[in-house]
C-alpha cells in the first residue's frame, strides 16, 4: 500500500513539473447548474465529477457512480473518508425520484455516496451493483432493493413502471499507472464495519451499462456508460446491443478512450455519429472550491488534444464537475 502511495505521489509531482500543455487549450463544457430543476423533456445530465452523473429524461432519473463527496488526497491516503451529506443533499435538490442508482465498480470514487442516497431517495429506487459492492455496503443496512450484476453475462433490470431499463455488461478495469492496480479484489463476505478507509472499497467485478429510457416498448433514448477505465475489448453480446440499436450518447471514461485510440476496432469505431461525454479526467482529490485540474496534468491534456483530432468537436463533450449537459 505504502509503495503504491509513494509511486502515486512521485508521478503526480513529476507530471506537474513537466507540464507544458494547459487546460485552456481544451474546450470544456462548463455550463454551471444554476437551477437544479430539470425544466424540460431534453436528455439532461448534471455532472458531479469522476463517473457521477445525475441523468434525467422526461420524468425518469438515473444516478451513476455516486460520488459527490470529495475526500482530499490526504484523507484518501492516510485518513478516513466520509460522505459529505450536505453536499449530496445540495446536489440533488428536490430531484429525488430516481429509478436506478448504478455503480460501475466498487472503488470509493464510484460508490461511496450510495449509503446516503439510500437514506434520501424514493422507496422504489433500485440500486444496481456487484455482489462484492453489496458486501462492502453491508454495515449501512441498505433498505432499497439491490440487484446484483453478473460477472459473466449481461443482466437486464426494468423498473416497475417499465420506463427505464438497465442492462449491465461485464467489463474490465485497466491499471491505474505503471501496471499498478489499486484496491483490487473482491469483497467476498459482508463487511462488519463501515468502510472508512479507501482501501476497503475494492473494485470487485467491473460493469458497463446500457440505460434505456422507454416509452411502452420503444427505446426513446439509449445511453452507453462506462465509467471505469477499461481497455477497449468489447464482448460480442455488448457489441450486438450497441450495433442493434446505437446509443444516442456514450459516456466513456477518459482512460478508456486513451486505450482505445490505439485500437482500430475499439469502442470509438462503434460510436458512429453519437455524442461522447468524456468523464473521469479531472483531479478529483481537489475540493469543490478549487479550480479544476486534470488528473496527471500534462499527459491528460496531451491525450485530450489528440482525441480532438480523432473525434469531431461537435460530438465530444468534456464536462467539468458541477456542469450541466443537455443532449437535444
CA-CA distance, 3 to 5, in Å (whole number)? 5
Dihedral angle computed from the Cα positions of residues 145, 101, 91 and 206, in that order, rounded to the nearest 10 degrees = 130
Residue 221 engages Zn ion in binding (rule: CB under 5 A): no
Distance of closest approach, residue 90 Cβ to Zn ion, in angstroms: 25
Nearest CA among 253, 258, 224 for reference residue 238:
224
Distance of closest approach, residue 129 Cβ to Zn ion, in angstroms: 13
State which residue, 150 or 172, has the beta carbon closest to Zn ion: 172
Give the list of residues 6+ apart from residue 160 with CB closer than 8 angstroms, or none: 124
Q: Is 230 exposed, middle or buried (0-12, 13-18, 19+ CB in 10 A)?
A: buried
Place of cell 427505446: 219
State which residue, 57 or 169, has the beta carbon closest to Zn ion: 169
**Residue 245 Rama label (left phi>0; alpha psi -120 to 50; beta):** beta
> CA quadruple 192, 110, 100, 150: dihedral positive or negative?
negative
State which residue, 100 or 201, has the beta carbon closest to Zn ion: 201
Strand order in the sheet with 100-102: 145-148, 126-129, 100-102, 60-64, 53-57, 43-47, 323-327
Distance of closest approach, residue 280 Cβ to Zn ion, in angstroms: 9
Residues 56-115 that bind Zn ion (CB under 5 A): 107
State which residue, 110 or 165, has the beta carbon closest to Zn ion: 110
Distance of closest approach, residue 249 Cβ to Zn ion, in angstroms: 22
Distance of closest approach, residue 3 Cβ to Zn ion, in angstroms: 18
Distance of closest approach, residue 321 Cβ to Zn ion, in angstroms: 17
State which residue, 138 or 172, has the beta carbon closest to Zn ion: 172
| Residue 219: strand pairing partners | 214
Give the list of residues 6+ apart from residue 231 with CB closer than 8 angstroms, or none: 172, 174, 256, 259
State which residue, 107 or 258, has the beta carbon closest to Zn ion: 107
Distance of closest approach, residue 109 Cβ to Zn ion, in angstroms: 7
Residues near Zn ion (CB under 5 A), total: 1
Nearest CA among 54, 122, 27, 131 for reference residue 325:
54
> And the C-alpha cell for 94?
428536490
State which residue, 49 or 163, has the beta carbon closest to Zn ion: 49
Q: Which residues bind Zn ion (CB under 5 A)?
A: 107
Amino acid at each position: 500500500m505504502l509503495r503504491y502511495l509513494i509511486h502515486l505521489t512521485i508521478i503526480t509531482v513529476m507530471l506537474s513539473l513537466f507540464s507544458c500543455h494547459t487546460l485552456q487549450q481544451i474546450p470544456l463544457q462548463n455550463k454551471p447548474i444554476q437551477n437544479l430543476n430539470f425544466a424540460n423533456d431534453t436528455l439532461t445530465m448534471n455532472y458531479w465529477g469522476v463517473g457521477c452523473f445525475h441523468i434525467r429524461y422526461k420524468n425518469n432519473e438515473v444516478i451513476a457512480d455516486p460520488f459527490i463527496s470529495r475526500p482530499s488526497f490526504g484523507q484518501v491516503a492516510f485518513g478516513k473518508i466520509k460522505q459529505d451529506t450536505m453536499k449530496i443533499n445540495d446536489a440533488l435538490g428536490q430531484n429525488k425520484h430516481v429509478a436506478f442508482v448504478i455503480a460501475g465498480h466498487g472503488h470509493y470514487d464510484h460508490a461511496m455516496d450510495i449509503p446516503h442516497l439510500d437514506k434520501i431517495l424514493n422507496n422504489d429506487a433500485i440500486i444496481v451493483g456487484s455482489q462484492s459492492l453489496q458486501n462492502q455496503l453491508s454495515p449501512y443496512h441498505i433498505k432499497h432493493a439491490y440487484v446484483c450484476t453478473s460477472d459473466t453475462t449481461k443482466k437486464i433490470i426494468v423498473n416497475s413502471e417499465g420506463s427505464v431499463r438497465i442492462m449491465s455488461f461485464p467489463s474490465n478495469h485497466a491499471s491505474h499507472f505503471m501496471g499498478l492496480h489499486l484496491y483490487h479484489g473482491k469483497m467476498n463476505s459482508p463487511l462488519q464495519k463501515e468502510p472508512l478507509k479507501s482501501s476497503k472499497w475494492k473494485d470487485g467485478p467491473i460493469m458497463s451499462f446500457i440505460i434505456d429510457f422507454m416509452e411502452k416498448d420503444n427505446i426513446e433514448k439509449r445511453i452507453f456508460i462506462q465509467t471505469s477505465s477499461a481497455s477497449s475489448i468489447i464482448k460480442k453480446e455488448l457489441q450486438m446491443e450497441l450495433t442493434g440499436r446505437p446509443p444516442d450518447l456514450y459516456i466513456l471514461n477518459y482512460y478508456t478512450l486513451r486505450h482505445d485510440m490505439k485500437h482500430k476496432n475499439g469502442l470509438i469505431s462503434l460510436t458512429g455519429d453519437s455524442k461522447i461525454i468524456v468523464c473521469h479526467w479531472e483531479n478529483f482529490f481537489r475540493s469543490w472550491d478549487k479550480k479544476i485540474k486534470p488528473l496527471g496534468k500534462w499527459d491528460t491534456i496531451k491525450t485530450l488534444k489528440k482525441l480532438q483530432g480523432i473525434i469531431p468537436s461537435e460530438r465530444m463533450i468534456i464536462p467539468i464537475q458541477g456542469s450541466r449537459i443537455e443532449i437535444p
